Amino acid sequence: MIVSLVAFLVYSVNLRGDPRYDGFAAVPTAVSIVHDGNLTLDEYRDVPGFAEHYSISTDDDGRLVGFFPWAVALVAVPAVVAADVAHAVGIGPGADGAVAAMARWFAVLQNLTAAAATALAVGGAYVLVRRRRPAAGGRYVAVATFAFAFGTSVWSTAAVMLWQHGPSLAATTWGLVALSRALDAGGPAGATAAGRAFVRAGALFLAAYTFRPTNALVLLGAAVVVAVVARRGLARFAAGAALVAVPWCSVTYAAYGRLLQPYGAASRLGVHDEFAEALAANLISPGRGLFVFTPLALLSVIGAARLVRSRGRDPLMWLAAIVVPVHWVAVSMFGQWYGGKSYGPRFFTDVLPLLFLLAITVGGDGELTRASLRRPAVAGFALLLAAGVVVHAEGALVLSSGCWSSHPQPIEADPSHVWSWSDALVTKGVRDLVHDPVGAVRGVCRGE
């Protein structure tokens, strides 16, 4: 798809994302899958710093395995195969060599995989807006897709580093496309197409859960939607989910001795002493606030308010309007509610397709016919979009923005730093560019 290809090319401009964070084990695990047919990482035990990394854990038999969802490694398999093929013709060290060296090629494999998965999500967003707004013009579709791709954490978080978020976004976005097709199909011919679409939706939403456990909310919500408005499709939806769940649970049990990885345990959630602060910070703080970093999310609020006021009957809209606030509460219940060493509202990244679904109900289709209303509305949208693009360009391209979470001290030591306006993360990149443009782009932390 051309839209995904364009997004991938743009995202690939930055291949310098730091590979040492949550996605650290994804490429090594993908290498083990391709070369050895397992998830264990003992072959890298002697690589300096590997076994001690926080993303590496040991199973009951003392073998090294990844702590974060292993399913993300599946997305890195094509990059591993490509690296091995390139090595066979004399280009690069190969995937195993890249991991063993922990150098430039390791980061490239991670970053290309993240860019590809995220670009796939952008393609899904394009299809989604065309399906949901069929009467909207091509310009509206293009601008909406651009806003999703570059005015949100899709760019500054998912596309720059192999977290769980890129694969999660791709599965959720295409799951929404499949569910939309299933619910919209009609007539005898449509019944067959709907059945297949329900299967795809179930498989994609379950896959989203394997990539990111908080996606259990959208999986459950989608199942409820199907049960309420298309009960005959529930068996097919469940069958699609089972197509992913059975092999995933089987592999997880073989590797970890349990059906679910410890990372996905619900016990990691709870009402802690900072819960109220977390709720507020995740929306409006200058370090993690959704509406500060992604002003276009305000359109999602307008879309949800319209839905409630009009008592609309669009099941996908209700899915989005209910899951997003529940997700907000859930991520605020994490002990590490501030998202660790990251940029902006990372924990909201996974529900951006749902926020997008709500936002695209605003505007288009000749909604504002009077020029006196249309011009201010267009100007306001342009301002929100420009602000979002600038802010997320900071996170994606000005690498020193990443220093904020660790300098002058780690964010874990003082989570309240997310409220600092004098050292606001949302302006960190701009301030660093003024001080030292070259160092800012290269990721030099001031004070080092």
Q: How is the chain split into domains, by residue range?
A: 1-136, 164-262, 269-448
Tell me the pLDDT band of 197, cut-offs 50, 70 and 90.
very high
Give the pair of three-digit tokens for residue 353: 């397709």
Q: Which of 222, 220, 221 is nearest to 198 (CA)?
A: 222
Q: What is the rounded CA–CA span in Å between residue 33 and residue 108?
A: 19
Give the pair of three-digit tokens for residue 66: 């990844």
Tell me the pLDDT band of 369, cut-offs 50, 70 and 90.
very low
Q: What predicted TM-score, i.e. pTM, was given to this entire model? A: 0.94
DSSP tag of 401: G
Q: What is the rounded CA–CA span in Å between residue 404 and residue 389?
A: 19
For the cut 90, the answer to whether the pLDDT of residue 364 exceeds it is: no
pLDDT, one tens digit per residue, over 406-430 is: 877 889 999 999 999 999 999 999 9
Give the C-alpha distances (Å, rounded to integers) separating 289 from 203, 332, 344: 32, 12, 7
Q: Residue 432 carries which side chain, given as an amino acid letter? A: D
pLDDT, one tens digit per residue, over 83-116 is: 999 999 999 889 988 888 877 788 888 999 999 9
pLDDT, one tens digit per residue, over 101-157 is: 877 788 888 999 999 999 999 999 999 999 998 888 889 999 999 999 999 999 999
Q: Which of 404, 408, 446 is nearest to 427 (CA)?
A: 404
Q: What is the rounded CA–CA span in Å between residue 164 and residue 71?
A: 9
Q: Could you check whether the bond before residue 262 is cis, i.e. omega within 30 degrees of 0?
A: no
Residues with Cβ < 8 Å from 51, sequence gap 6 or more?
44, 45, 64
- Residue pair 322/224 in contact by the 8 Å Cβ criterion: no
DSSP tag of 57: E
Buried b (16+ CB within 10 A) or exposed e, 298-317: ebbbebbeebeeeeeebbbb
Q: Residue 65 carries which side chain, given as an amino acid letter? A: V
Q: What residues pair up with 64 in beta bridges, in sequence order?
A: 58
Burial of 297: CB neighbours in 10 Å, binned 0-12, 13-18, 19+:
buried
Q: What region, left, alpha or beta, does residue 54 occupy, with left being phi > 0 and alpha being psi -120 to 50 degrees? A: alpha
Q: What is the rounded CA–CA span in Å between residue 87 and residue 92?
A: 5
